[in-house]
Amino acid sequence: MSVVRMTSPHTTGPLSVTWVMGMVLLALVPGWVVLAVSFGWGYVINMALAMGTAVLAEGLILKWRARPVGFFLKDLSALVTAALLALALPPLAPWWLTVLGTLIAIIFAKQLFGGLGHNPFNPAMVAYALLLVSLPLYMTTRWANPDMTLGLFDTLSVIFIGTVPIDGATGATPLDVYKLDIARLTASEVLQKPVFGTFVAEGWDIANLAFLGGGAFLLWKRIITWHIPVSFLVGLGGMALLFSWDADVRVPLSLHLLGGATMLGAFFIATDPVSAATSNKGKLVYGFGIGVLIYLIRTWGNYPDAVAFAVLLMNFAAPLIDHYTRPRVYGHEKPVKGYKNE
Amino acid sequence: MSEPEVTPEATTDTRPKGQAGELTRNGLWDNNAALVQLLGLCPLLAVTGTVVNALGLGIATMVVLVGSNTAVSMIRNYVPDSVRLPAFVMIIASFVTCAELLMQAFTYELYQVLGIFIPLIVTNCTILGRADGFARKNPVLPSMLDGFMMSLGFLAVLLVLGAIRELIGQGTLFTNMQLIFGPVAENWRIEVFKDYPDFLFAVLPPGAFVGLGFLIALKNRIDSGLEARAERLKDKPVAGSKRVRVTGNIS
């Protein structure tokens, strides 16, 4: 009889970085497909551009930093960053905007801080926020209109040659439209606009549901825990119930949940294990904070969507949250919390 | 027959000799106020949006630093240690007021553009640092030179940063140079990129942080390159033991 000599921990399963990142990419596919079908080729081209740039930039800078290039490229983390950014950017943005954003994400926000695992902020969101602050014109007016999607060649010429897209093919997002128009119209009048479609927000609602499905897949595969998405949605939904109960005054709950980047943010962006809080209690605080901040910025801020800013702000707070939500260590009666007891 | 002479350690140090050379080298490179001491960051980050702003503030700082170093050096033997800091601050504040009035008189528009950052020169730590660290202990001429070189190094960094930020932020160089040089400079403006969409990040203060970080990295890279070269050029000690003749006649 052979005695199996193994020491703890007795974990099972191939939980490598490559596997986790691959699963995240897989879970992003349905939402991406829905976006591409509703809004046209822009999302496909952006995805290819961002991924190509990300791989090149990551390889180049790994070489400069004298790190093994193949090993770090194989972990697919650069592709996940690129995918998140490509899904967040407007589909008809010029090509250099996507390339610039990806370079910022990979070089500045990730590699200059020391590569995967050392970045205090979510790289894709750093790039998105930087682009939104720097080039607001391109970032707010180049969203595609689902009723008038451009063909492949028209999209290519808008993105690469810089042809001005035909009238009506581009516009603002539903969140933006609602926020601007509700100041002078009633809710039923605003919702007449074609950008809202038949359900909540044409194209966006199904994409959000698809991202919700992808998130459920990640939960089922135990790649993420429920804490951040649930507290995120509770924070956002709670604020919307408290302050947006009158749809004639502010953006209603349905549009908050299904109108912008909410589901993508809740399941894919906020759950980034590197830049989020780590303990379970900490994750609850972290997600709740993001949800509340999104509502605050969307409602009283200058920008139409707020996932990037809210995530970055809570990234700042994550180390502090971790300090105050440490779990009890085995053998101690009480958990050590905060800085006083050190 | 003669034994080979023991060569003195080869001097790879190419630094200029003498105090003046040392002061120059310190101010411009080795001990640069912005890149090494990281002093005076507030104006450095706030007003380097364009070349003309950087130049204006750099020259104002230069006037104040040279003046205050000279004055502090002149009174160095008459001010007791216990009250030296208030005395220095008063001297510096007087010079800043002079610079401010001068700018108000001769470059009024630039004075309005730079705004609060001209009076704030008084809080630039480089100036108090040089007064307390150098001028207090040295005669007038070296102090004057030290002030000039330190502010020249600071000015150079301001200019480079201003040029980078103006180029990336607006796609131009030398916009509005007439604010300093008068009507002659009206068409000095160079439009490097046509139809450039303004990249606000470079114009806003965060762009200055990133730009300064890159400048510091570049300086460190050059320094380590120079060090590696000096190491290469140094004489290598010969491996193995040398035989020394101890018997017989030594000619």
Q: Least CA distance to B202: which residue of chain A?
A: A134
Please indicate whether, in this complex, the C-beta atoms of B210 and A108 are within 8 angstroms of each other.
yes
d(CA A169, CA B123): 54
CB atoms within 10 A of CB A109: 23
Please indicate whether, in this complex, the C-beta atoms of A134 and B201 are within 8 angstroms of each other.
yes
A interface residues, B as partner, C-beta within 8 Å:
108, 130, 133-138
Between residues 188 and 217 of chain B, which touch chain A (CB distance below 8 Å)? 197, 199-202, 204, 210
- Is the pLDDT score of A128 beyond 90? yes
Testing the interface with B: which of A134, A140, A161, A309 to mutate, by most B Cβ within 10 A?
A134
Please, which pLDDT band fits residue A3 given cuts at 50, 70 and 90?
low
Give just the sign of the alpha carbon dihedral A37, A41, A42, A47. Answer: positive
Residues A72, A115: contact at Cβ < 8 Å? Answer: yes
d(CA A86, CA A228): 23
Nearest-neighbour CA in chain A from B200: distance (Å): 4
Q: Least CA distance to B169: which residue of chain A?
A: A134
A171, containing H or E segment:
strand A170-171
d(CA A87, CA A106): 16
Which of B199, B204, B210 comes nearest A135 by C-beta?
A: B199
Please indicate whether, in this complex, the C-beta atoms of A135 and B200 are within 8 angstroms of each other.
yes
Structure tokens at A203: 């194209």
Mean pLDDT (chain B) is 83
> Which chain A positions have a beta carbon within 8 Å of B201's beta carbon?
130, 133-134
> Which chain B positions have a beta carbon within 8 Å of A138's beta carbon?
197
Residues A178, A255: contact at Cβ < 8 Å? Answer: yes
A166-202: pLDDT as tens digits: 766 777 788 888 888 888 888 888 888 877 877 778 8
A143, containing H or E segment:
strand A143-144
> Which chain A positions have a beta carbon within 8 Å of B199's beta carbon?
134-135
Alpha-helical (H) ranges within chain A are 17-39, 42-64, 69-73, 77-88, 95-103, 123-134, 136-141, 152-156, 174-181, 187-190, 204-220, 227-243, 253-258, 262-264, 280-300, 307-324
Judge if the upstream peptide bond of residue A194 is cis by omega within 30 degrees of 0. no
Question: Which residues, 6 or more positions from A280, have their beta carbon under 8 angstroms from its beta carbon?
Answer: A225, A227, A327
Question: Which residues, 6 or more positions from A73, have their beta carbon under 8 angstroms from its beta carbon?
Answer: A55, A58, A59, A62
pTM of the model: 0.83
Please indicate whether, in this complex, the C-beta atoms of B197 and A138 are within 8 angstroms of each other.
yes
Please indicate whether, in this complex, the C-beta atoms of B201 and A138 are within 8 angstroms of each other.
no
> Which chain B positions have a beta carbon within 8 Å of A302's beta carbon?
none
- What's the pLDDT score for residue B33? 82
Of A1 and A292, the one with more pLDDT = A292
Cross-strand bridge partners of residue B66: none
Nearest-neighbour CA in chain B from A128: distance (Å): 12
Number of Cβ pairs closer than 8 Å across A and B?
A: 15
Mean pLDDT in residue range B143-151 = 92
The interface predicted TM-score of the complex, written ipTM, equals 0.75
Of A8 and A318, the one with more pLDDT = A318
Q: Least CA distance to A94: which residue of chain B?
A: B197
> Which chain B positions have a beta carbon within 8 Å of A134's beta carbon?
199-202
Nearest-neighbour CA in chain B from A109: distance (Å): 11
Nearest-neighbour CA in chain A from B221: distance (Å): 13
Of all residues in chain A, the percent with pLDDT exceeding 90 is 47
Q: What angle do CA A46, A47, A50 make, to 5 degrees?
A: 80
- Is the pLDDT score of A280 beyond 60? yes
The amino acid at residue A6 is M
Q: How many residues does the structure list for chain A?
A: 342
Contacts by A35-39, CB closer than 8 A, 24 or more apart: A35/A87, A35/A91, A35/A203, A35/A207, A38/A146, A38/A149, A38/A202, A38/A203, A38/A206, A38/A207, A39/A91, A39/A143, A39/A144, A39/A146, A39/A149, A39/A203
- Is the pLDDT score of B251 beyond 60? no
A75-85: pLDDT as tens digits: 899 999 999 99
Please indicate whether, in this complex, the C-beta atoms of A134 and B210 are within 8 angstroms of each other.
no
B24-79: pLDDT as tens digits: 888 888 888 888 888 888 888 888 888 888 998 999 999 999 999 999 999 989 98
Residues A291, A234: contact at Cβ < 8 Å? Answer: yes
- What's the pLDDT score for residue B250? 59
- Is the pLDDT score of B239 beyond 50? yes
B85-131: pLDDT as tens digits: 999 999 999 999 999 999 999 888 888 888 888 888 888 888 898 88
Which of B197, B200, B210 comes nearest A133 by C-beta?
A: B200
B182-224: pLDDT as tens digits: 777 778 888 888 778 888 888 888 888 889 999 999 999 999 9
Which of B197, B204, B210 comes nearest A135 by C-beta?
A: B197
- Is the pLDDT score of B245 beyond 70? no
Alpha-helical (H) ranges within B16-83 are 18-25, 41-46, 51-74
Nearest-neighbour CA in chain B from A218: distance (Å): 35
A284-339: pLDDT as tens digits: 999 999 999 999 999 888 887 789 999 999 999 999 999 888 888 888 888 777 77
Q: Least CA distance to A96: which residue of chain B?
A: B197
Give just the sign of the alpha carbon dihedral A157, A158, A164, A169. Answer: positive
Mean pLDDT lowest among A30-34, A86-90, B41-45: B41-45
How far apart, in Å, are the Cα atoms of A226 and each of A278, A282, B19, B98?
Answer: 13, 13, 68, 64
- Is the pLDDT score of B8 beyond 60? no
